[in-house]
Amino acid sequence: MLKIAVAGASGYAGSEALRLLLAHPGYGKDFEIGSLTGGSNAGNRFGDLVPHLPQLADRVLEDTTRDILVQNDAAILGLPHGVSAALDLPENMYVVDCGADYRLKNESDWDRYYGSEYAGHHTYGIPELPGNRDLIKKSRYIAAPGCFPTGATLAAVPGIAAGLIAPQISVVSVTGVSGAGKKPAVSLLGAETMENARAYNVGKHRHTPEIRQNLQAVVPDNEDVYVTFTPVLAPMKRGILTTVTAPARGSIQDIRKAYEDFCAAEPFLLLLPEGQQPETQSVRGSNMTHIQVEEVDGMVVVTSAIDNLTKGTAGAAVQCLNLMLGWDETAGLPQTGV
């Protein structure tokens, strides 16, 4: 029986990964929950910090160290940026890293948006990207995608890959506050976020090069990709609603057909009926991406909704782990929202 560790277990991403693993059909049969680690919370009883997972309540969080993690066969890392690269985990482990350390292929992009030492890159964890599923199956270390790039990529890729949407896109993503993690910050206090919405990091958000990298991989004829990205913080706990706008290169009928064909082959993509818009409440707690595509005066407008903690983070991690370990890709991942 495999042992799967979760680092950063008391954080939003880590605890969401555990929620999904505990409901996985392989839990107790193919794998058990191994080490649970934390940073400042090491030494604390897990149930005091994460009471909604009673099966693990009496476990005690350990330090996030290489020596502890290597006692497991696999690990999901829900750690701050820069921490996972320093762990230098062995190549015989199966690792899905929810941090940004190994997402970017271009070192100059890393230098510009992160500024710390570049660690390299590993296989990127969106199975729905053309050709990526087979790479994930063969990999031992996966760089799970950022939540914003997940919503934007899955909204834009079907049209761009078909050559029916120009790769000059404007992305606006409205997100819940859990995307910022649990670290205390004045800007995330209830009094600052309730009844309020604000854009932030316009033109310089760290997920911008990740979105561009994903789209560059599928654009026909290696055409240059241009991305403007505006994140907006909204007074909700979880969910991301993304709008992608770009020039059309085909009729709406052809564009919609491209989306129908693309989504039909993917268990976690749903193209909604015409006239029905994605809503974050419809995907809450699920691993689904709801999508709608329309044409307005020669421009394509694609909207998508995901749960930032499930499909945007921990769900993607479990989906990749399923592929790496040869399990059913959908195992433990709900398609139904709460």
Q: Which residues are catalytic?
A: 147
Closest CA to 91 of 104, 105, 79, 73: 73
Q: Both tokens of residue 253?
A: 């009928």
DSSP letter string, 201-220: STTT-TTHHHHHHHHHTT-G
Element (H, E) at 111: helix 107-113
Contacts of 74 (CB under 8 A, 6+ apart): 2, 3, 4, 5, 31, 93, 94, 95, 96, 321, 324, 325
DSSP tally for the chain: helices H, then strands E? 12, 14
The span from the CA of 98 to the CA of 6, in Å, is 11
The span from the CA of 82 to the CA of 100, in Å, is 8
